[in-house]
Amino acid sequence: MPNAEFRVLSPTAILGYGFPEESFMAGVARRPHLIACDAGSTDPGPYYLGSGKSFTNRAFVKRDLRYMLVEGLKLGVPVVVGSAGGSGAAPHLAWCRGILEEIAREEELSFRLGAIAADIDKAAAKAALRVGKIRPMPFAPELTEEAIDASCHLVAQMGGEPLVKAFQAGCNVILAGRCYDPANFAALPIALGYDPGLAIHLGKILECGAIAASPGSGADCAFGTLTGESFILEALSPARNFTRESAAAHTLYEKSDPYRLPGPGGVLHLENCSFAELGDGRVEVRGSRHENTSPYRVKLEGARKAGFRAVSIAGSRDPIFIAKIDEILHAVRAQVSTMMQNTVPGSIIFHVYGKDAVMGPTEPEKVNHSHEIGIVIEAVAPTPEAADTLLSVTRSTLLHYGYPGRISTAGNLAFPFSPSDIAVGDVYEFSVYHLMEIERPDDFPLQIVNFKRGRIES
């Protein structure tokens, strides 16, 4: 176990969310050994993986990445970005790499880039499925070859091993495709001999930037220091502090089990974890333990096209309408179905804000006390034209639907926008959300590119 401390700067929760320059430079002044950032998530849903687009803004990704590259290379420390481009498939990695190359040219930077692809060949995935090496995540259906073939992009959430391989090849800037969030921060210190449990737990907290501080922010920096027996967390803005409660609470974030966090090739055990405040807004964490598991599994993520969407947004503050909203929507749905007579395929979903739009049927508050409600009418159909038609007919039917006790005949809905109907475009759904056994955790394609004063060396 190394005696020296290992310091890590996490600029922001997701590359492109931004951070105060003052916070970032305060972290740089602490002379970190690594600057790392997570750049993606499945949280925004399947659209971004399926479409190959980023959910973050290009200008701000470039802004954040410029700070990281310029200051990291000045310090002579590695810069790591995982889940590049948001979802980490080939188009996302290429998008982020294009931004990096622009910065390199503009700043005339010299470095060795390791670009690691996370895409999984569909034939290989189907072969693994046939021999029982793929199993579903909780609540996911059994995987089929048809679902694999229908996926627009298929990626595996790599662990730290491919990053270590890039470090060992001399890369001081790493762009990885879909990556286990803590691995961006934990791979290098683990390779240097630091305790894997502490390193992964530290990475679990740092991957969200200053969200784990109090008050939390996804658009601010956090700093972590690994020692031989613990790690220390601190915020880099005078407006924030880490506390025992904030650090412990974030340890529970995105976890179904408070004591166990599964990841690629292992499980992080937190049963004996302790959190101690050191003063000056710092918290020391001890007792995290990592256990390797066999076989080594990675999470597969895939998304397929599911149709086209159109929406209309409206509101109402008629107390009679609000009181009868469930039966009104049921009757409107039935009337539209009768008029369509199955000539326009698709589905209508009503999201009633002010009633149960967030939690749906699991909403515990059954009595509606709202004096006004918002209604999002969503139409999903196989073609854009079918979605537009279904939405238009449903919107006009609801607008003029007559219900018992109705007084005004001018219309039931208030529309904030004209035109009221909005074509949203392609709809995607997750088609693969499963675990796959792999033989070599570091066997992800690595491309190494040397930059000299901003130009790629041949």
| Span 152-165, pLDDT tens digits | 999 999 999 999 99
Domain boundaries, the chain: 6-118+157-296+438-456, 305-431
pLDDT at residue 189, rounded to an integer: 97
Q: How confident is the model at residue 369 (pLDDT cuts 50, 70, 90)?
A: confident
pLDDT, mean of residues 6-33: 98
pLDDT at residue 407, rounded to an integer: 83
Domain 305-431 -> CATH class: alpha beta
pLDDT at residue 1, rounded to an integer: 66
pLDDT at residue 322, rounded to an integer: 94
Mean pLDDT computed over every residue of the chain: 96
pLDDT at residue 254, rounded to an integer: 81
Q: What HEC string does the chain produce? A: CCCCCEEEEECCCCCCCCCCHHHHHHHHHCCCCEEEEECCCCCCCCHHHHHCCCCCCHHHHHHHHHHHHHHHHHHCCCEEEECCCCCCCHHHHHHHHHHHHHHHHHHCCCEEEEEECCECCHHHHHHHHHCCCEEECCCCCCCCHHHHHHCCEEEECECCHHHHHHHHCCCCEEEECCECCCHHHHHHHHHCCCCHHHHHHHHHHHCCCECCCECCECCCCEEEEECCCCEEEEECCCCCECCHHHHHHHHCCCCCCCCEEEECCEEEECCCCEEEEEECCEEEEECCEEEECCCCEEEEEEEEEEEEEEEEEEEECCHHHHHCHHHHHHHHHHHHHHHHCCCCCCEEEEEEECCCCCCHHHCCCCCCCCCCEEEEEEEEECCHHHHHHHHHHHHHHHHCCCCCCCCCCCCCCECCCCCCEEEEEEEEEEEEEEEEECCCCCCCCEEEEEEECCEECC
| Span 188-234, pLDDT tens digits | 999 999 999 999 999 999 999 999 999 999 999 999 999 989 999 99
| pLDDT for 452 beyond 70 | yes
pLDDT, mean of residues 108-137: 98
| Span 375-430, pLDDT tens digits | 999 999 999 999 999 999 999 999 999 999 888 788 999 999 999 999 999 999 99
The answer, as to whether pTM is greater than 0.85, is: yes
pLDDT at residue 5, rounded to an integer: 96
Tokens of 5: 């401390």
| pLDDT for 332 beyond 80 | yes
